[in-house]
Amino acid sequence: MRTFSNFVNGRPVDARSTFESKNPANGETLGLVPHSTREQADAAVAAAREAQPAWAARSDADRQAVLIKVADKLRDNAELLATWITREQGKPLGGVGPEQVPGARFEAWACEAWTRVPASLELPPEVVFEDETRRDEVHRKPLGVIAAIAPWNWPLMIAIWQIVPSLRAGNAVVIKPSEYTSIGTLEMVRLMNEVLPPGVLNTVTGAGEVGAWLVDNPGVNKVMFTGSGATGAKITAAASKHLTPTTLELGGNDPAIVLPGAPIKAMAMNLFWSAFLNQGQTCACIKRLYVHESQHDALVAELAQLALAMPMGDGMQPDIAMGPVQNRMQFDKVSRLVDRARSDGATIVCGGEPMPGPGLFYPLTLVTDITDGAPLVDEEQFGPALPIIRYRDIDDAIARANRGDAGLGASVWTSDVKQAKAIAQRLEAGSVWINHHGAVHPMVPFGGAKRSGWGVEFGIEGLKALTRPHVISVKK
């Protein structure tokens, strides 16, 4: 059984104890992952602090060139990384159907793409005021050391979202991957360290306490976290001790509203994948689908036909569309929410019962005759179960969509884009998509409203969030 290593100051680091990383499709142990100690977490931060000034002192062009080499390294090893994503996270290796719906190979490619785009961005000084008496410029300086805590659903891609803009801005990074999906991240960081200067990118692995040690370290200058609201609240409280700023992406429970008259046959496939991409384990997936009563039954029939046709199984096998739920905790949550809906009188259109065998397979499940207030509607299920809710009045649908504390994404589906834009203005979410959902882009800011977090990632705004403004004012 192979034991994988962390990387600190450019060198592999082992730990006194390890834990198993398992394949959710069959329960197979994939390898042993070090459980970092607090001393090792502190050492990783210290290594980052030591390496960061020299990295920041390099020219923008130099840092950009290094990151382009990192992108090349990720491209050249994309199949290795994609294989680890499938084995450890569960999503199918390849794309599905003529649309090539994203799988693990897409995630590996996205790691390359989300490296090249930030590497291409510029943050030149901005002249914010000038008259005959003075000239004021805003320059951008790195923050220092970024502690990044990544999730298990898109383990490598979201890690790259945290790592690469931080490095581009001149920071150094310590990243803790999810304990459920550590090996792929360790392999990716190993490859990146073949290009990066020692100490600029470091890893620690383990359960939640390891991330807490990073947050509690006064040598950390910012925390980036993607995960649950409960953990985000703990991070916020701990970071306040040292006045450490944070960027938090805390999930969604995203609503989608299908307006009357929408071309549902043409939109059904897009709606389906907007809900069930990555087995529904995506922060910005549709989690609640509001459909006008005039088209509710027809759309349910279209979605059920798609759900029943999607082959589910080990993502390393060919022609698999749906993989397992990634971990037992999430599997049990989905089961509990669906069982509760059934006991409360909802209709299970398809799915609704765990599949037998060692893997964590839960069938695609559509639930109707359910409304707001039901746990399956009000809680973010983060899995392959979609509540579909009738509505009669559009104002009522908007009010329902805005219920609750979540506000990551939302979408409106219609042939009337003008009407959709007006509705989008009323939806309380960081991003509102029209006739698609969850379509993030490396140049478009992405972040949540309400209790879905704060701060933004991607593009110029995301890059600025990893710097501090430095004003130089000249009297003429």
Query: Count of CB atoms within 10 A of residue 218's CB?
Result: 10
CA gap 118, 139 in Å, rounded: 18
In the numeric block, which tokens belong to residue 381?
């299920």
CA nearest 203: which of 438, 460, 5?
A: 5
Long-range contacts of 260-264, Cβ-Cβ distance < 8 Å, separation of 24 or more: 260/292, 260/294, 260/295, 261/295, 261/414, 261/415, 261/416, 262/295, 262/413, 262/414, 262/415, 263/415, 264/295, 264/298, 264/299, 264/302
Asked if 448 contacts 246 with a C-beta cutoff of 8 angstroms, the reply is no
Query: Count of CB atoms within 10 A of residue 115's CB?
Result: 27
Instruction: Calculate the CA dihedral of residues 114, 115, 120, 122 and round it to 10 degrees.
Output: 90
Taking the CA atoms of the chain, what radius of gyration do you get in angstroms?
A: 23
Asked about 249 being catalytic, the answer comes back as yes
CA gap 79, 112 in Å, rounded: 12
For tokens 């908007």, name the residue: 398
Query: Count of CB atoms within 10 A of residue 454's CB?
Result: 18
Asked if 338 contacts 373 with a C-beta cutoff of 8 angstroms, the reply is no
Asked if 4 contacts 32 with a C-beta cutoff of 8 angstroms, the reply is yes
Among the listed residues 249, 302, 380, 457, the single catalytic one is 249
Asked if 391 contacts 435 with a C-beta cutoff of 8 angstroms, the reply is no
User: Residues with catalytic annotation?
Assistant: 249
